[in-house]
């Protein structure tokens, strides 16, 4: 009798153990960090550029990732004006009226000017627009004089600022970039200056203005202006802000910032040509993706986690990103990339490409990008046990196991009865 009880207890235990093996160990929705792969090659072959000096500066890494003659001293021309505008925005009253004390535009008849006439008055904001957008040399001059008392003193402020930023090969003698043998910068220094100046939100907003008007005065009719920068780069992609400069068609400069696929960079081109400048910009935009070290968090279609599917012939599926996501942590370490997943409750039938949840990529503790998790395969409805996350295949195995236990019980019962 005791043997029968023990035997039945063992058979019952066996009957329970196998189903428990199927029901335990259900999948979780944690991100598979092994899919994060290094991206970008600092040794990538650089494109041929017409510009004599060039720099790609990563705003994400806060350093240069490519330079051509990066430390060669070259005339900056009107890109000087970004520092002038930055210093005014950081310290000036935009509503203050500035009286024009002389017809300074006469000194700049070979360059850009707003033709500010003696006796006119403009606000600091109006002079800033003329300086940054239409590159007016006379407007930059009057901003400097109003801020520091003289252009020379303002240039001293400019030099103090760039030294503070670590720019050792830059020296300014005026506020507008008018050619002077003692007025120079380098592609490397100018990239730092550009990056720092456009950290100022007001600078970015000012640069984004495409056109503006100055009201009629008793000295002049209404002035209509366009932003020279956007005219120069209108065919280029994902550009956010910047400034042009030129002495003639064969001696041009430009600085700009662009953002593409979570890559944020500054481009500086010095002593380029009007004809080749746009081409050089496009080459460096393409090259920036090849040379800047970062990570592909997941390629589009990469399986990033597994998830349960209720009621399916298969009760588990892989989930994939809806797009390729790149990240450039400042530390350049994979460990600073985190991915949070929010997986939906999935139920069969499930179609490949069906929304299955969302993901959030976090870099340096800041949200970088959100996207959609997609089912990686079709899953049909399963048998009745699939509602308990037991697949059709597992159901067959369980049925065979149950049959085996029944047969075993019958054989053991018969053997016991013979005794």
Beta strands in 311-406 (DSSP E): 316-321, 325-327, 337-343, 346-347, 355-363, 366-375
Per-residue confidence (pLDDT) for residue 37, from 0 to 100: 97
How confident is the prediction along the chain (419 residues), in pLDDT tens digits per residue?
545 555 555 555 555 555 544 444 455 568 999 999 999 999 999 999 999 999 999 999 999 999 999 999 999 999 999 999 999 999 989 999 999 999 999 999 999 999 999 999 999 999 999 999 999 999 999 999 999 999 999 999 999 999 999 999 999 999 999 999 999 999 999 999 999 999 999 999 999 999 998 877 666 766 888 899 999 997 677 999 999 999 999 999 999 999 999 999 999 999 999 999 999 999 999 999 999 999 999 999 899 999 887 876 677 889 999 999 999 999 999 999 999 999 998 887 879 999 999 999 999 899 999 999 999 998 777 555 545 455 434 444 555 555 555 655 565 566 556 65
| Closest to 316 measured CA to CA, from 342, 350, 285, 293 | 350
- Residue 240 burial (CB count, 10 A): 13
Per-residue confidence (pLDDT) for residue 128, from 0 to 100: 97
- Kindly list the domain boundaries of the chain, sorted by start residue: 1-26+389-419, 27-39+298-386, 53-292
Residues 6+ apart with CB under 8 A from 71: 169, 186, 188
In whole angstroms, give the CA distance from residue 48 to residue 112: 31
- Residue 347 burial (CB count, 10 A): 15
In whole angstroms, give the CA distance from residue 73 to residue 76: 9
Per-residue confidence (pLDDT) for residue 36, from 0 to 100: 97
Fold (topology level) of 53-292:
Beta-lactamase (3.40.710)
Query: What CATH architecture does domain 27-39+298-386 belong to?
Result: Sandwich (2.60)
* Bridge partners for 355 per DSSP: 374
Q: How far is CA 367 from the centre of its chain?
A: 11
Per-residue confidence (pLDDT) for residue 381, from 0 to 100: 74
pLDDT in tens, 284-343: 999 999 999 999 999 998 999 998 878 766 778 899 999 999 999 999 999 999 999 999
Per-residue confidence (pLDDT) for residue 309, from 0 to 100: 79
What is the pTM (predicted TM-score) of this model?
A: 0.84
CA distances from 164 to 198, 215, 229, 261 (A): 16, 38, 28, 32
Per-residue confidence (pLDDT) for residue 346, from 0 to 100: 83
Angle at 290 between CA 287 and CA 291, to 5 degrees: 85
């Amino acid at each position: 009798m005791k043997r029968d009880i023990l035997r039945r207890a063992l058979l019952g235990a066996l009957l329970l153990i196998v189903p428990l093996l199927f029901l335990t160990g259900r999948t979780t929705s944690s991100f598979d960090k092994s899919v994060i792969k290094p991206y970008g090659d600092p040794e990538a072959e650089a494109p041929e550029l017409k510009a004599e000096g060039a720099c790609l500066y990563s705003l994400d890494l806060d350093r240069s990732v490519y330079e051509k003659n990066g430390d060669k001293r070259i005339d900056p021309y009107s890109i000087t004006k970004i520092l002038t505008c930055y210093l005014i925005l950081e310290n000036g009253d935009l509503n203050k009226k500035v009286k024009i004390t002389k017809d300074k535009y006469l000194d700049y008849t070979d360059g850009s000017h707003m033709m500010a006439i003696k006796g006119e008055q403009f606000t600091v904001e109006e002079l800033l627009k003329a300086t940054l957008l239409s590159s007016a040399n006379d407007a930059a001059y009057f901003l400097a004089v109003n801020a520091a008392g003289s252009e020379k003193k303002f240039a001293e402020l400019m030099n103090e600022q760039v030294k503070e930023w670590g720019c050792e090969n830059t020296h300014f003698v005026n506020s507008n970039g008018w050619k002077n043998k003692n007025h120079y910068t380098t592609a490397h220094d100018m990239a730092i200056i550009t990056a720092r100046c456009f950290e100022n939100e007001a600078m970015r907003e000012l640069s984004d203005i495409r056109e503006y008007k100055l009201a009629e005065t008793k000295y002049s009719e209404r002035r209509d202006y366009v932003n020279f920068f956007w005219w120069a780069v209108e065919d280029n992609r994902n550009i956010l802000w910047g400034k042009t400069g030129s002495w003639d068609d064969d001696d041009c400069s430009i600085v700009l910032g662009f953002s593409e696929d979570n890559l944020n960079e500054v481009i500086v081109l010095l002593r380029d040509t009007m004809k080749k400048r746009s081409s050089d910009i496009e080459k460096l935009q393409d090259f920036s993706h090849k040379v800047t070290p970062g990570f592909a968090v997941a390629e589009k279609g990469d399986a990033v986690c597994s998830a349960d599917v209720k009621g399916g012939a298969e009760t588990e599926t892989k989930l994939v990103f809806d797009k390729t996501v790149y990240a450039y942590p400042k530390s350049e370490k994979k460990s600073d990339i985190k991915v949070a997943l929010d997986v939906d409750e999935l139920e069969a039938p499930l179609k490949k490409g069906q929304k299955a949840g969302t993901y959030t990529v976090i870099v340096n503790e800041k949200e970088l990008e959100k996207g959609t998790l997609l089912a990686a395969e079709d899953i049909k409805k399963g048998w009745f046990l699939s509602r308990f996350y037991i697949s059709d295949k597992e159901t067959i195995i369980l049925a065979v196991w149950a049959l085996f236990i029944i047969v075993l019980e019958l054989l053991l019962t018969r053997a016991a009865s013979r005794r």
